[in-house]
Structure 1
Amino acid sequence: MTDETLAVGDVVASGVLPIDRDDLVRYAGASGDFNPIHYRDDVATAVGLPGVLAHGMLTMGLAVQPVVARFGGDRVLEYGVRFTRPVPVPLEGEVLLEVEAKVGLLDEEAGEARIDLVAKVAGQTVLGRAQVRVALHPRPAGDPRAR
């Protein structure tokens, strides 16, 4: 994004991101989170879950990807979510994480925008208050907010 004009309510990014059991294995290895609810159906169901679940942080990380693709990772200033619903991942096949990102608030003076994400699986919202604060323009090298 360069010099385009944004308005509150504009959809700035969207995506459909597949999650399968192989993704869970890769994420467990990268994160060190080997909780068996993320890879063993018997353990997951024994504790009352519908089956193996995607890691919450994996879901969170995937959900922000359309925004990163749109604005660039260096312009993401802050990101937070509430985990509202687990994401069951079938033994075979995949589950689809559907993401839509809209401008929720513009602060032209600060050169920032709040992007509100809606992340759904099978039509149900899985992340609440998912918000990304982005710089509208690249930060100068000396700016303390630049990364």
Structure 2
Amino acid sequence: MVEATFDVAGQVGHHYRADDYYEVGREKIREYARAVQDFHPAHWSEDAADELGYTGLIAPTTFLSTTAMLANRRLLETVMTGYDMFVQTDQVFEMYKPVLTGDRLVSDVELSSARRIAGKDLLTITNTFTDQTGEVVQIMHTTVMGITGADVDTGISDAIERVAMHGIDVPSRPATAGRTAAAADRRTAAHPARKTRPDQSTTAPTRVPRTRIRFEDITVGDELPTRIAQLTRGDLVNYAGVAGDANPIHWHDDIAALAGLPDVIAHGMLTMGLGAGFVTEWLGDPGAMTRYAVRLSNYTIVEAASAGSVEFTGRIKSIDPDTRTAVIVVVAKSAARKIFGLATADARIA
């Protein structure tokens, strides 16, 4: 491995468990579903969720990204220091159990990878979420590019401090105290053992999916109905508040310009949430998806005077009769640009 800037490569393997559990709330699920424009009834109505066999509202596919932001804060502040900002590049969700109202989830956090490509640091954070029974619910891999002052306007840190929400720390150059805290964090005997990653190929499904699509009726090449989602600045501000992503490049024109962007852009995770809902609406059962992976290749520009839009299309790439699963390729375009470089969703079909 090539040594990354600020010796971040030497911190690979750093891990800890979040200090407190996150309790999944009924209204938080609805709030998040509204933010990602996912109106599947099972996110909103207990009766609809019960018809699919769930004991409470089921959270949208990308819901735990909000929990990850809370759990990862210590990693960003004490290990992944020395950057002025981060740009998300890849995201992988592995789903093992549905996330339901009342679940109490704990996240194990690990800096699982650091690599240097074309002079940029690509850093992967892995979150392993377990519920109150100790079972793994979801594993999430988030890859970001670390951006330093050499890549953006030198005044961006000061500008962000002037407009950032209170209680949100702005990334800055590394401090010795931060490194010392990171080292102590890493060697403390109080660290719990990291959870073993389940093998989805051998793990039996915890429930039978109740998709409206029947496995016998699908074939490779089948296309999903197109969906066009509209995004306004209001949608971006709402998502920022719901998800806890207060990066002002998503709502402040001047900060976006200092970051080298043509205008305010939508959150990458917001477009992923829209894409996940596009697939689960077709499936008819939000819990049927077992894996969702997205590589971001561009962004959705949202101007102040007009809405931005994202067009979602999809097709079945492959099917497996033995496991009754399908892999769906998802394409997202905005202003004729591909937003997703590569995106796939794996699902069990009834």
How high is the TM-score relative to the length of structure 2? 0.38
Q: Does 1:109 align with 2:322?
A: yes
From the superposition, tell whether residues 125 and 2 of structure 1 become closer, same or farther in structure 2 (CA, over 3 Å): closer
Q: Does 1:6 align with 2:218?
A: yes
From the superposition, tell whether residues 2 and 88 of structure 1 become closer, same or farther in structure 2 (CA, over 3 Å): closer
- For residue 50 of structure 1, the aligned residue among 239, 242, 262 is 262
Paired with 2:247 and 2:237, the residues of 1 have a C-alpha distance of 11
Which structure has the higher relative contact order (CA within 8 Å, separation 6+)?
Answer: 1
2:176 equivalent in structure 1: none
Paired with 1:104 and 1:13, the residues of 2 have a C-alpha distance of 15
1:140 equivalent in structure 2: none
From the superposition, tell whether residues 53 and 12 of structure 1 become closer, same or farther in structure 2 (CA, over 3 Å): same
2:348 equivalent in structure 1: 135
Q: Does 1:60 align with 2:272?
A: yes
Q: Assess if the C-alpha contact under 8 Å between 2:228 and 2:312 holds in 1.
A: yes
Shift, 1:35, TM fit: 0.6
Q: Does 1:17 align with 2:17?
A: no
How high is the TM-score relative to the length of structure 1? 0.89
1:100 equivalent in structure 2: 313
Q: Which runs of 4+ in 1 moved over 6 A?
A: none
Shift, 1:70, TM fit: 1.1
Q: Assess if the C-alpha contact under 8 Å between 1:111 and 1:136 holds in 2.
A: yes
- For residue 286 of structure 2, the aligned residue among 67, 70, 73 is 73
Paired with 1:77 and 1:44, the residues of 2 have a C-alpha distance of 35
Letter of the aligned partner of 2:273 in structure 1? Answer: G
Q: Assess if the C-alpha contact under 8 Å between 1:13 and 1:102 holds in 2.
A: no
Count of residues paired in the alignment: 137
Q: Does 1:124 align with 2:340?
A: no
Partner SS state of residue 48, structure 1:
coil
Q: Assess if the C-alpha contact under 8 Å between 1:63 and 1:97 holds in 2.
A: no
Q: Assess if the C-alpha contact under 8 Å between 2:263 and 2:301 holds in 1.
A: yes
Q: Assess if the C-alpha contact under 8 Å between 1:9 and 1:103 holds in 2.
A: yes
Shift, 1:14, TM fit: 2.1
Shift, 1:41, TM fit: 0.5
Paired with 2:217 and 2:341, the residues of 1 have a C-alpha distance of 27
Partner SS state of residue 266, structure 2:
coil
Q: By percentage of residues, which structure has more strand? A: 1
**Identical columns (%):** 35
Shift, 1:56, TM fit: 0.4
Show CA shifts across 1:21-64 (max 9, x none): 11101110111111110110111011210111100000111122
Q: Assess if the C-alpha contact under 8 Å between 2:300 and 2:309 holds in 1.
A: no
1:34 equivalent in structure 2: 246
Show CA shifts across 1:76-126 (max 9, x none): 111010010011111022111000010011011111000100100011100
Paired with 1:126 and 1:111, the residues of 2 have a C-alpha distance of 29
Partner SS state of residue 301, structure 2:
coil
Paired with 1:115 and 1:14, the residues of 2 have a C-alpha distance of 14
Partner SS state of residue 300, structure 2:
coil
Shift, 1:2, TM fit: 4.0
Paired with 1:108 and 1:36, the residues of 2 have a C-alpha distance of 47
Partner SS state of residue 304, structure 2:
coil
Which of the two has higher C-alpha Rg? Answer: 2
From the superposition, tell whether residues 6 and 31 of structure 1 become closer, same or farther in structure 2 (CA, over 3 Å): same
